[in-house]
Amino acid sequence: MKSILKISFAAAVLGLFTSCKDDDDYQTIESVDKVKIDSVRIVNDTMSVFSVQSIRTYSTYNSGCEGFYGYDYIHSGKFDRDVTAYQFFTSGTCTQAKHTSANQINFSPQKKGNYTFRFWNGNNSWITKTIVVE
């Protein structure tokens, strides 16, 4: 029994001194910036309170070193929403091919009303969509 404990202890100590393999298969995000939303797809422009609807946005990225990072979703009024998409930039070896990415927001209204969504489309331009909640 003592020999099993000694072997287990030795293995544990050896494990502490063994370095982990560095995983270099990923690239570090260098920066994040706004990316214009090229188009928006809303399946139903009328929905019920407490139901859920996916709103898809599409953006174009210039290379494989760019991609979707997240949304800034601001309640700019009782029924008004401003949505801005952000992209990440990585350093390293990248493909130069442009690509389009589809991403989504799940909208679940809590009150009846006419909800106006404004999606940032670059500079001072917005794509405006309205969803009626009954």
Q: Does residue 34 sit within a domain?
A: yes
Task: Examine the pLDDT at 17 and tell me if it is beyond 70.
Answer: no
Band (pLDDT 50/70/90 cuts) for residue 41 is very high
In the chain, how many domains are there? Answer: 1
Q: Does residue 1 sit within a domain?
A: no
pLDDT at 74: 96
| Residue 33 C-beta-side C-alpha neighbours within 13 Å | 8
Q: Does residue 10 sit within a domain?
A: no
Q: Does residue 120 sit within a domain?
A: yes
pLDDT in tens, 68-126: 999 999 999 999 999 999 999 998 788 788 999 999 999 999 999 999 999 999 999 99
Rounded average pLDDT over 29-41? 96
CATH code of the domain covering residue 82:
2.60.40
Q: Does residue 123 sit within a domain?
A: yes
Q: What percent of the chain has pLDDT over 70?
A: 81
